[in-house]
Amino acid sequence: MNFSHYTTKPVEMAVSLVNTEGIKEDSLSTVEQMTEFLDEYRDLWEGAAKPAKTSDLKAIHQLRSSLRELIGSDEEDLAAKRVNIMLAEYGATPRVSTHSGEPHLHFEPLDSSMVSWLGAVTSMGLASVIVEHGVERFGMCCSDSCRDVYIDTSRNKSRRHCSNTCSTREAVAAYRARKSEEA
Ligand SMILES: [Zn+2]
Ligand SMILES: [Zn+2]
C-alpha cells in the first residue's frame, strides 16, 4: 500500500499510542513510559515539538481515547466528523515546508507543545487513511481478550485481528471448540 507523508510513521504512531492501553494494563501510565514511547518517534518530533512534560500525561491519555473512538468509527460521516474535531482541537494548520529540499505540506502547529504536535500528527495520519483508503481500513481486534486497534492493509480488507498472536490464538481456540463438539 502506498502511504503518503502523513500515513506511514504517523499512522503507526497513532495505532501504537492507542494500543498502549490494554485490557489488563496500561503501558502509558507513568511519565517514564510516556518518554519511552515518544523516544521511539524522536526522529519525527525532534526540532518540531517541545519534549513531553509530566503535566502532558493526562492530555495524552485524552488524545489516546479520541484516537480509539475515531478508529472505532464504522462509517465515513462519523469518522470525518470525529477527525475534523480533532484536527481543529490540536491546531492542525497547513503550511509549506522546505526543510528536506522538496516543498511539501506539514500540518502540525509551529513550535508546538508535545500534546498539540502529537494530536495534529496522529489525526492527520488517520485523516489520510480515511481519504486515501477508506474508513473500512480501521479495525479493532475481534479477540475477546484484546482491545488493540489496527489499520487493515490486506489486499482484500479481510483482516480481523490486531496481530498474528491474536489470530493464531483465536484459530487454536476455534479448532479446540470444534474438536470438543465432535467428541
Ligand atoms: Zn517534512
Ligand atoms: Zn488482538
Query: Residue 15 C-alpha to ligand 2 middle, in angstroms?
Result: 12
Burial class (CB in 10 A: 0-12, 13-18, 19+), 80: middle
Burial class (CB in 10 A: 0-12, 13-18, 19+), 155: exposed
The answer on pLDDT for 117 being more than 60 is yes
The model's pLDDT over 136-176, given as tens digits with 9 standing for 90+, comes to 999 999 999 999 999 999 889 899 999 999 999 999 999 99
CA distances from 90 to 36, 60, 100, 113, 115 (A): 22, 11, 24, 10, 8
Q: Tell me 75's DSSP state.
A: S
The model's pLDDT over 50-86, given as tens digits with 9 standing for 90+, comes to 999 999 999 999 999 999 999 999 999 999 999 999 9
Query: Residue 72 C-alpha to ligand 1 middle, in angstroms?
Result: 29
What pLDDT does residue 70 have?
A: 98
Query: Residue 69 C-alpha to ligand 2 middle, in angstroms?
Result: 17
CA distance 115 to 7: 19
With a threshold of 0.85, does the pTM exceed it? yes
Query: Residue 108 C-alpha to ligand 1 middle, in angstroms?
Result: 10
Which residue segments constitute the domains of the chain, with CATH numbers given?
Answer: 9-137 (1.10.3300.10)
Ligand nearest to the CA of 101: 1
Three cell numbers, residue 77: 460521516
Largest Cα separation within the chain, whole Å, is: 67
